[in-house]
Structure 1
Amino acid sequence: MKKLFHVLIISLLATACSDSTTADNNSNAASSQTDSSATKLSLKQQVKSITKDYFLLRPEIATYYGVSDASIDANVMSKLTDYSPRGETHRRQGLKAILGQLNDIDAASLSSSDKISLNAITSEVKGALLPTQIVNYGNVLGEYGVWFLPYAVNHLSGLQIEFPGYMEDKFAVTNTAEANAYLTRLNIYPAAMGTLVDKLNHDVAMGVIPPDFVIDNTLRGLRSQISGPAKMHPLVTSFNAKLNAAKMADSAALVSSAAELVDTKYYAATRQLIMALEAVRPKATHDAGIGRLPQGAKLYKALIQHLGNSNRTADDIHQLGLTEVARISTEMDGLLKEVGYVDGTVGERMQVLLNDPQYLYPNTPEGKQQLMADIDADLALVNAKLPDWFGLLPNQDVAIAAVPASRAASTSGAFYDAPSQDGSRKGTFWISLYDTASLPSYSLQTLTYHETNPGHHLQTIIGLSDELPLMSTVFYSNAAGEGWALYAERLAAEMGIYANDPIDNIGRLQSELHRAVRLVVDTGMHAKGWSREQAIDYAIATEGIHLSEATGEIERYAVWPGQALGYKLGELKILELRKKAKQVLGDKFDIKVFHDRLLENGALPLDLMEQKINQWLASETAA
């Protein structure tokens, strides 16, 4: 079979708009039905058309969650997001329409669990729309298909980042139709890139230009994507591996087509973005925060609500961060003295620890292999203790994988990816092994528990219950999700894992200190005018982390304003609710029940999480 990529391709913009318009018409028709039987449907059934509408707005997120075209009755597998100004307007209107459909659902007909889920989805959709009520620039439904991004292009987010990641790691190729869809996406990549360049230039004309260091990082990553021959690019080699695994006929012709497309389409589109950014670069400043952008202060306030589930002011959060930094530093000071680190500030002593060879993995294949083996051992240790702390347990193991070398340099630390809906792809803990010096052994255990069990993986799998709508997982609360993962780090200590390991416990506290520092530097840059360098220096001096780690973190907060606030804000709310539950229930308090009640409806927005726990406590005391 030859030239499989020469399929009928409708214009990307026309396709995106026509599909979404059809979805809107279908949804309006469905909502006009008065059949009383609709009131008997579960929430999962009632949001089915809404789920379809969402994935038509953000096709790549269907790939992320392993959602097939057939399961949502839509053609999204061979589509890409329209990033143009017109496409952004359409997406904002589409999200407003989704909110309207959610508001039209008759909550009175739902079970109590479904009511909680409906309120959570609705709350998060409202949060995602908040920034759009303030500014015309940026991208709604950006990173992970949920977060608002002030810059259409940056070194961590955008088409040029998500396309290779989703295609290489998550795009299933098990039959001819899926292989053709893969090639179709490669073929339309230049059209999608054209929409992104249009959006970049539109926002630049409004005075919205990424900081110079963000543009430099983005250019560095783009150039690395096209540095080798097309036939050796991961978009081709990963496609070949999938074809071989599926034992596909004509795989050689398919791989040849992919290589030709990468060479003539993907590389050309990447060069187009490089040229656009090079043209913008002379206009960029070194200012890190969004306070300099049009309506920047109001936008940051909205992002605190959107990503932190909080109405606190930036000044209040900044002070909270300073208070938490002082508290955690005092605890670390005591432990450091116990193990013989006496002189200097906590940050200075952690710098000494950071450079101690006994805690460093060599940046060699052998060192990286040992690091991965240690992750496996740490995970096995905590898994054995989970039944004593949870009634609901994950029914899927977590996969552990190194970020592919082609993307490792531009990947921030480690992250977790949810499993596919059909179970064919496991939930995965990805870790970048680009620089093992930034991963000292005393930090690795806590990182593992944050991303796997009892952190993100456990929470995600419980939230992926067959009874909950997929939208509950897509529109998760950043503050609840990251707050839980930070709480999970503390929980590991309460399980006794660090009882005889003070060095790793110091690493755990340093990880918590890191999240407190985020409150200080995120608000510092975006509300108080801190420079990139000021934030980096504060992080290094306070935490004692590696320069490369501090730099990567600060540059992350510059392009994802507000996101890093969710960790501490969420963790503190969970601890507050647990303390209240212990006080109310006394001897009846069961940590397993508390955790199950907290997790069973997914990552609820913090106000709804509190409301749910209060209702549970009221029912328990009334019984």
Structure 2
Amino acid sequence: MNKIINGLVIALLMSGCTDSNEQTTNTTAAQTSQTDVTVTQSLQQQITSITKDYFVLRPEIATYYGVSDTSIGADVMSKLTDYSPSGETHRRNGLASILDQLNSIDASTLNTSEQVSLRAIQSEINGALLPAKTVNYGTVLGEYGVWFLPYAVNHLSGLHIEFPSYMEDKFAVTNTNEANAYLTRLRMYPAAMGTLIDKLNHDVEVGVIPPDFVISQTLDGLKAQISGPANSHPLVTSFAHKLNTAKVAKSQLLVNSAVELVDTKYYATTRQLIAALEVIQPKARHYAGISHLPQGAKLYQAMIQHLGNSNRTAEDIHQLGLTEVARITAEMDGLLKKVGYVDGTVGERMQVLLNDPQYLYPNTAEGKQQLMADIDADLALINAQLPQWFGRLPDQDVAIEAVPDSRAASTSGAFYDAPSQDGSRKGTFWISLYDTAALPSYSLQTLTYHETNPGHHLQTIIGLSDTLPILSTVFYSNAAGEGWALYAERLAAEMGIYANDPIDDIGRLQSELHRAVRLVVDTGMHAKGWSREQAIDYAITTEGIHRSEATAEIERYTVWPGQALGYKLGELKIIELREKAKKTLGDKFDIKVFHDRLLENGALPLDLMEQKIDQWLTSQTTV
């Protein structure tokens, strides 16, 4: 496999020389030759120190992207984020400093692609700083090293979730040095957790306590992490597997050290977090939204800009959601009637479909095996269609993995992880098989296309570049990334994938309806005072989804305010730009070229995406 991204620290380009005109004077016998030397640094080179500064602020994200210590010139592999109140202040100031340094770069020295990349990084960092400028609580550079989180500890995000995930799935162990770095991180976990508990208590003092149901979910997940013996914990078993695969010397001694550290450090520290949460649990209230938090309304508007790339008000987005729900529901109604589902609302008919055994995978080893096999078949079906719709195609296959049992219960649905920098780890579609009842067969195909091709995997691979900085990938636009993946679901229908499969097409429409419902419930909870139960009931009634799925989704939106808005806001912008391109170019419109232009710079903020497409259309019409 070819490396996706070259090392971040690159030697300076050799000086380029251009000969000046030789000048001979009558007043001297000597002839002189002058050479003008111009050294032009790429964007990647100009932000080498900035890249280092970022990963020092968020060491775990270097692990996520497979960035080595040597490539950035910093010791981050064995470090963990400082979540303490002072560490949070340092991180906010550090991110602001990074933005200042980026703003000082002379864009005129960069090529067109680099200029787009620089503007995108600047825009996303600006967005990440907006919530931090609004409130003095929460965590900047939280989930994926980019998102602002109002609650430093919750059931989906935080050191307690990030640490086992990155260590088990993404921490490379190919030699003794890396094995020792792995053990060093285990030793450091108690100190890092101490900073997180300090941050938790600090935010409680200013009136920020996670909802009661979030604390309960978090406690359940933490207790599950330490429910078995240390020697069978994935932090140990995954480490042992890596050591054996790499044939690292004295691997058993290293495994023994890991068992001791998991038992005496990781387990003991997890119990400390459990105790801290149990202390504040009686103070927790049942509010679902952040509007009750200090400056909560302003914070939510900042989150809309941060994760939705939008200046629209919450009320405007709420009404957009209701309009989209009505449109998609009407389309589903017609299709359901064609296949014989006539009685009741669309949600009620989807509940009938949900409970039909022919569309359910048994929650057994055999049922889960069949589900994974069906994903492989659906992926092969779409891959055969891609050359007709894209000029550039991903040069890497996507890996498909089940979320480990130790984390499956606390993982919502499915997600995609980008490949590592060194090419040692593929882009991966992770799917939670904890409750297969939440994954009916008619929904699986669309989910696969969202996470793999032509969705997240294709977009990620096409957007990566050897010549652009890794921060272009780290600071991606949530609205563009999730908007593209939702657009990809629609694209699969245009490809004819569902032409002879109306049931799966209904599943596709239900998936789109799900994203429209998100506009309604996210704004409902965070701006209009909806309760958790009201949001869950609305999702079930409108979509006809499983209660466990609706509950997991609503509780996700509670701790990631604004994130769920990006899907529909991004998809609608892409559709708008595509229609504009078709209208402008007429017979010259080529869907493959449009897709290539849209994707070639990665997941751009929506305003930059529009500027880029407008500039491309102008260039096409002035030729």
Q: How does the TM-score come out when normalised to structure 2?
A: 0.94
Q: Give the structure 1 partner of residue 88 of structure 2.
A: 88
Verify: 1:353 aligned to 2:353, yes or no.
yes
Matches within 5 A, 1:75-474: 75-474=75-474
Shift of 1:223: 0.4
CA–CA separation in structure 1 for the residues paired with 2:74 and 2:189: 20
Tell me, yes or no, if the aligned pair for 1:138 and 1:152 is still in contact at 8 Å.
yes
In the alignment, residue 163 of structure 2 is paired with which amino acid?
Answer: F
> How much has 1:37 moved relative to structure 2?
7.7
Q: Deviations over 1:415-457 (max 9, x none)?
A: 0000001100000000000000000000000000000000000
Q: Secondary structure at the match of 2:415?
A: strand
Contact 1:230 1:263 in 2 (8 A): yes
Distance (whole Å) between structure 1 residues aligned to residue 117 and residue 318 of structure 2: 32
- Other-structure match for 1:48: 48
Letter in 2 for 1:614: D
Structure 2 unmatched ranges of 5 or more: 1-35
- Letter of the aligned partner of 2:78 in structure 1? S
Letter in structure 1 aligned against 2:515: R
> Helix, strand or coil for the counterpart of 1:271?
helix
Code of the residue aligned with 1:285 in structure 2: it is R
Task: Tell whether the 8 Å contact from 1:44 to 1:467 is kept in structure 2 after alignment.
Answer: yes
How far has the Cα of 1:360 moved from its partner? 0.2
2: CA distance between counterparts of 1:587 and 1:280?
Answer: 64
Task: Deviation per CA, 1:528-584: give whole Å up to 9, x if none.
Answer: 000000000000000000000000000000000000000000000000000000000
Alignment of 1:462-501 (within 5 A): 462-501=462-501
Report the 3-state secondary structure (helix = DSSP H, G, I; strand = E; otherwise coil) of the residue aligned with 1:396.
coil
After the TM superposition, list the runs of 4 or more consecutive aligned residues in structure 1 that deviate by more than 2 angstroms: 36-39
Provide the C-alpha distance between the structure 1 equivalents of 2:353 and 2:42, rounded to a whole number of angstroms: 54
SS at 1:40 equivalent: coil
Q: For each residue in 1:511-535, what CA deviation from the matched residue of structure 2 results, as whole angstroms up to 9, or x when unmatched? A: 0000000000000000000000000
Matched-pair contact (CA < 8 Å) for 1:361–1:440: yes
Q: For 1:258, what is the secondary structure of its paired residue?
A: helix
Query: Residue in 2 aligned with 1:28?
Result: none
Distance 1:404 1:218 in 2: 17
Q: Is the 8 A contact 1:225 1:406 kept in 2?
A: yes
Give the fraction of aligned pairs with identical amino acids, expressed as a percent: 83
Partner of 1:65: 65
Question: What letter corresponds to residue 120 of structure 2 in structure 1?
Answer: A
Deviations 1:44-84 (A, max 9, x none): 11112111110000000000000011111110000000000
Q: Report the Cα offset of residue 39 of structure 1.
A: 6.3
- The amino acid of 1:405's aligned partner reads D
Secondary structure, aligned partner of 1:332: helix
* Structure 1 residue identity aligned to 2:416: Y
Distance 1:621 1:168 in 2: 52
> 2-side partners of 1:328 and 1:38: how far apart?
58
1:136-159 CA distances to partner (integer Å, 9 max, x unpaired)? 100000000000000000000000
CA distance in 2, matches of 1:134, 1:370: 48
Q: For the Cα contact (< 8 Å) 1:468–1:601, is it kept in 2?
A: no
Structure exhibiting the larger radius of gyration computed from Cα positions: 2
CA distance in 2, matches of 1:334, 1:114: 47
Deviations, residues 6-51 of structure 1 (Å, cap 9, x unaligned): xxxxxxxxxxxxxxxxxxxxxxxxxxxxxx9896111111112111
1:519-558 alignment, distance < 5 Å: 519-558=519-558
Q: Deviations over 1:178-210 (max 9, x none)?
A: 001000000010000000000000000000000
Give the whole-Å Cα distance in 2 for the aligned partners of 1:38 and 1:156: 50
- Aligned partner of 2:310: which letter? S
Distance in 2 separating the partners of 1:386 and 1:51? 34
Structure 1 residue runs of 5 or longer lacking an equivalent are 1-35
2:75 partner amino acid: N
Report deviation, 1:463. 1.4
Structure-2 change in CA distance of 1:549 and 1:423 (3 Å): same
Amino acid at match of 2:588: K
Q: How many residues align?
A: 588
The one-letter code sitting in structure 2 at the alignment partner of 1:382 is: I
Amino acid across the alignment from 2:132: T
1:50, 1:98 within 8 Å by CA — same for their partners in 2? yes
The 2-side partners of 1:508 and 1:467 are apart by 37
* Residue in 2 that maps onto 1:591: 591
Contact 1:39 1:106 in 2 (8 A): no
Q: 1:55 to 1:38 in 2, by over 3 A?
A: farther
Contact 1:483-1:570 at 8 Å conserved across structures:
yes
What CA distance in whole angstroms lies between the structure 2 residues aligned with 1:51 and 1:513? 39
1:361-403 per-position Cα deviation (integer Å, ceiling 9, x unaligned): 0000100000000000000000011011001111110000000
Q: Partner of 1:15 in structure 2?
A: none
Give the letter for the 2:556 counterpart.
R
The C-alpha deviation readout for 1:277-327, integer Å capped at 9, x for no partner, is 000000000000000000000000000000000000000000000000000
Cα pair 1:401 1:430 within 8 Å, conserved: yes
1: distance between equivalents of 2:201 and 2:98? 28
**For the residues of structure 1 that align with 2:165 and 2:145, how far apart are their CA atoms?**
14
Q: What code does the residue aligned with 1:111 have?
A: N
CA RMSD of aligned residues (A): 0.8
Q: Is the 8 A contact 1:39 1:109 kept in 2?
A: no
Q: What TM-score does the superposition give when structure 1 sets the normalisation length?
A: 0.94
